[in-house]
Amino acid sequence: METVLLILSILIIVLVLLQSNKANSGAQIISGGNSDLFQNQKERGAELLISRLTLICGILFFVISFILYIK
């Protein structure tokens, strides 16, 4: 079960790194310089798939971690 958790955590890291940037630079994220950052933009295609996979992997990570904690 720990091996599955390790593989899942690596997969989450890869999926988060694959997600697109919504701001042009880190300074804009901190300062709020990008006005388009919080606008309602729909994800499509591969972006939507990566986003959903990240969500599913995050939920699985939480559930597996909780199960290992209870043991």
Residue 45: pLDDT band by 50, 70, 90 thresholds?
A: confident
- pLDDT > 90 in the chain, percent: 52
Instruction: Tell me what pLDDT residue 13 has.
Output: 95
- pLDDT > 70 in the chain, percent: 70
What tens digit of pLDDT does each residue of 31-43 get?
Answer: 655 555 556 667 7
How far apart are alpha carbons 15 and 40 in whole angstroms? Answer: 22
pTM for the full predicted model: 0.70
* Structural domain spans, the chain: 1-17+44-71
